[in-house]
Amino acid sequence: MVDTYIVPWAIRLVMALVIFVFGRIVVRMICGLVRKMMTKGDVDSILSDFLITILRSLLLLVVVIAALNQLGVDTTSMIALVGAAGLAVGLALQGTLSNFAAGVMLILFRPFEDGDFVEAAGVSG
């Protein structure tokens, strides 16, 4: 029984832990590189932090799914669920996300500077 069930399961568990730990290290390195590139590119710190948080979350999700797959868990339904949830959230927040994207574009391209005279929606200043 030990040779049949416990040893193969223990090997899969150790491999899943290795994947998880190594994956977290790689995610930390990737996020650090992206942060350095954004700092050199003079990207606004708020936008940089937001994008790195999203990147870290998505990469950690991939690492967790890979570790669960190593344990023998069927991850295809999880991937489909994450995709469907992303689609549902995207459709539900369509207007809000377009406004958010417009704000990100304003932060990136900075069409206005301090001291510029701007008129928008009947308000000027």
CB 59 within 8 A of CB 30: yes
Q: Is the pTM higher than 0.75?
A: no
Class of domain 1-73: mainly alpha
Q: Name 58's bridge partners.
A: none
CB 28 within 8 A of CB 93: no
What one-character DSSP code corresponds to residue 117? -
Domain boundaries, given as residue ranges, for the chain: 1-73, 75-110
| pLDDT mean over 15-28 | 96
> Pairing state of beta strands 123-124 and 119-120?
antiparallel
Look at residue 115 in the predicted model and tell me its pLDDT: 78
Q: 65-105: per-residue pLDDT in tens?
A: 999 999 988 889 888 988 999 899 888 888 888 888 888 78
What is the spatial distance between Cα 28 and Cα 8, in angstroms, rounded to a whole number? Answer: 30
What is the spatial distance between Cα 25 and Cα 63, in angstroms, rounded to a whole number? Answer: 10
